[in-house]
Structure 1
């Protein structure tokens, strides 16, 4: 059985690599390597948004939210997962007009505020994506251990190497090409695995009730997840690349809407399976893994398509992240910057520490929450960059206020600055609303006040799209 599983997973990864390599442009310029500028229609953009956002995390987090917090919190999670695409769909055309030759969120920040803000934004974006990469590879190792006898390290290295092959050689076009196939494959596998697992459940107990927590707590969890997930994903450079990859504004808007709606439905469906596991009183495990509790009652053969589903989910998000980080490195290197070969080596070099972290099996949830909070603290100052009254001073003041706002709720409630800082690092790895709400509200309020009272000199674009 381990040999069959290894062969099937190897075949899936080989197919992804071949699809990606077929889409590459061997002699394409660096700009095409990192943006595939103005080349993708609405359907391609929508499927790419779906595939690149759906990692192995959907097999863990939404089912757990559904099983323990209930439908209200699950809706919040689903909205948070889809809202970034809707924001980019509405905001993206203005970004394209403001920065027609752009390649990254860092470049956008620089044209609005200057090099200093750009470096901070680029740091937060790369830190978030590196954590995301490590989390995805860690997750596929854990899933391999749960569902098969294949060594987890072999699966981790297999996914990392296969995606590296086609992303380093093919760039963004390779990622976009595989996304289209991976999106359809993961939808088909979700229907198969979820449907068979549901069909194999025993009759629901008469006393079964829908999981829920008090309404106030459910709304708090929902709002926390909306803020955290939306803020973090708007610093995902892979999504910003697709703003410029769309062939025109209409394709971007329709693709973002398709990606947002499909992401919302997928998260709701997979979270609903977690609710079913709880309502059937299945043993959810410690730590709880409701989706895999469902599989324990399903036919044995279902473990293989479930593992292929997990590999597809991880590959679709990992290849996007690999190319996105290469894009950030290229965009940060300026006009004397990297060649295509240099961008490839940056991607390879980054994967070495990421793969090492994944092989250790660390828990990255707390790091994820901290990265989410950093993103929430500077999200609105960055997005307000198109407002004419905004200035570098307003953006920096808003970002600093966001960090202080994250600490302030714990400082007030616990009575000391140290306790407030500790609370803002989520020591129990549980998402709580006050730090996120404090970061978002303080950064927004201070940015608006400073911009209104002291509008400053703006950076703007020349006709060639260069900041000055």
Structure 2
């Protein structure tokens, strides 16, 4: 499947570039919405729900998963989108601001519908007893519609027409995401961004991490960096002059350090060596936190506080506060000495 998706997207983006990517995105979005709606309605009608056979009390009411979804999804995806070259390409390709706003509104609505459908699938799985907290996250939707399923196995064979439609939807969504990624990588290599970025991404991708962990690393790093970078867009703000080039980098370092300290406090074990605890904390901070809202809250708000602190220091520096303060101290010390 991965080879087919890669070959397909590479073929039409090679000949059409960004223009064909934008054109195919429209068709792909419409087809995915139709297919997912059909599969969701069929699943809702045919799936048998039995609350007595499955204890779902741990998923009801306010819980860790609910808080994480409400906080992490909007924060992480907004932050990581800020650094996505593919999104910026399509934004700058808009004819004017009116069309850009209209396109953003329509695409946001379509994204909401797709996410809502997938959330319904999760609810259907719990109510029917076909999935639980230990079910494979990547294949969870397929378990719900598969007539012969084993919730904890690593794979399955699609034996229904609805399963085939879901595979087609996954294929289309994969090509839609990959063609944007390919155009973004091409733009990065050609000099719009630093040409050193793609090799770093390749090194990260070569690590022994699954797909969800790779996304988690990029999401948490973007959350640590997005606030000071995002403020740079608003050049008319009065305090934008105090957010100098070093502020985003130092803010990222302080946010990463804060998140690591919090992760080490959570994961620390006295019987384990100091270095091992640090590595465990780093892993927990970057990709082992299972998208817990606590880790993203620490990284996001520590970045805000660090940006505010560093900007205030720049404010004092530009106002020559430190020089004047030093002069006052020297004068007072000389007068006291006399």
TM-score surpassing 0.5?
Answer: yes
- Provide the aligned length of Structure 1 versus Structure 2: 286
Task: Verify the 8 A CA contact 2:39 2:162 in the aligned structure 1.
Answer: yes
Question: Counterpart in 2 of 1:105?
Answer: none
**What's the CA shift for 1:313?**
1.1
Distance in 2, Cα, partners of 1:361 & 1:404? 23
Task: Verify the 8 A CA contact 2:22 2:90 in the aligned structure 1.
Answer: no
Distance in 2, Cα, partners of 1:206 & 1:218? 20
Distance in 2, Cα, partners of 1:438 & 1:362? 23
Task: Verify the 8 A CA contact 2:261 2:281 in the aligned structure 1.
Answer: yes
Task: Verify the 8 A CA contact 1:409 1:434 in the aligned structure 2.
Answer: no
Q: Higher mean Cα deviation, 362-371 or 439-448?
A: 362-371
The 5 Å alignment of 1:452-463 reads: 452-455=312-315
The 5 Å alignment of 1:261-340 reads: 261-282=109-130, 286-287=135-136, 289-297=139-147, 300-332=160-192
**What's the CA shift for 1:399?**
1.8
Distance in 2, Cα, partners of 1:437 & 1:322? 31
TM-score relative to the length of structure 1: 0.54
The one of 215, 221, 225 aligned to 1:374 = 221
The 5 Å alignment of 1:153-192 reads: 155-192=1-38
Task: Verify the 8 A CA contact 1:408 1:438 in the aligned structure 2.
Answer: no
Cα RMSD (Å) of the superposition? 3.4
Distance in 1, Cα, partners of 2:257 & 2:58? 36
Task: Verify the 8 A CA contact 2:21 2:179 in the aligned structure 1.
Answer: yes
**What's the CA shift for 1:317?**
0.9
Deviations 1:221-253 (A, max 9, x none): 122333223322322211111220111112112
Task: Verify the 8 A CA contact 1:224 1:433 in the aligned structure 2.
Answer: yes
- 3-state SS of paired residue (2:161): helix
Bigger-Rg structure (1/2): 2
- 3-state SS of paired residue (1:454): helix
The change in CA–CA distance for 1:333 and 1:262 in structure 2 (over 3 A counts) is: closer
Deviations 1:381-401 (A, max 9, x none): 100113432211222221221
**What's the CA shift for 1:442?**
1.7
Distance in 1, Cα, partners of 2:23 & 2:247? 40
The change in CA–CA distance for 1:279 and 1:436 in structure 2 (over 3 A counts) is: same
- 3-state SS of paired residue (2:169): helix
Task: Verify the 8 A CA contact 2:51 2:128 in the aligned structure 1.
Answer: no
Distance in 2, Cα, partners of 1:213 & 1:369? 26
- 3-state SS of paired residue (2:302): helix
**What's the CA shift for 1:189?**
1.0
Task: Verify the 8 A CA contact 1:410 1:424 in the aligned structure 2.
Answer: yes
The change in CA–CA distance for 1:177 and 1:333 in structure 2 (over 3 A counts) is: same
The change in CA–CA distance for 1:300 and 1:420 in structure 2 (over 3 A counts) is: closer
Distance in 2, Cα, partners of 1:229 & 1:333? 20
Distance in 2, Cα, partners of 1:393 & 1:283? 48
1:258 equivalenced with 2:106 (yes/no):
yes
The change in CA–CA distance for 1:300 and 1:263 in structure 2 (over 3 A counts) is: same
Task: Verify the 8 A CA contact 1:394 1:448 in the aligned structure 2.
Answer: no
The 5 Å alignment of 1:24-35 reads: none
Distance in 1, Cα, partners of 2:22 & 2:200? 21
TM-score relative to the length of structure 2: 0.73
Task: Verify the 8 A CA contact 2:24 2:176 in the aligned structure 1.
Answer: yes
- 3-state SS of paired residue (1:424): helix
The change in CA–CA distance for 1:423 and 1:213 in structure 2 (over 3 A counts) is: farther
1:384 equivalenced with 2:237 (yes/no):
no
Task: Verify the 8 A CA contact 1:168 1:323 in the aligned structure 2.
Answer: no
The change in CA–CA distance for 1:197 and 1:297 in structure 2 (over 3 A counts) is: farther
Task: Verify the 8 A CA contact 1:182 1:316 in the aligned structure 2.
Answer: yes
Question: Counterpart in 2 of 1:118?
Answer: none
Distance in 1, Cα, partners of 2:303 & 2:27? 40
Question: Counterpart in 2 of 1:34?
Answer: none
Structure 1 unaligned spans of 5+:
1-154, 338-346, 458-468
Question: Counterpart in 2 of 1:30?
Answer: none
The 5 Å alignment of 1:58-457 reads: 155-202=1-48, 204-205=49-50, 207=52, 212-213=59-60, 215-222=62-69, 223-282=71-130, 286-287=135-136, 289-297=139-147, 300-332=160-192, 363-385=210-232, 386=235, 387=237, 388-389=240-241, 390-414=243-267, 418=278, 419-427=280-288, 430-455=290-315
Q: Higher mean Cα deviation, 258-267 or 373-382?
A: 258-267
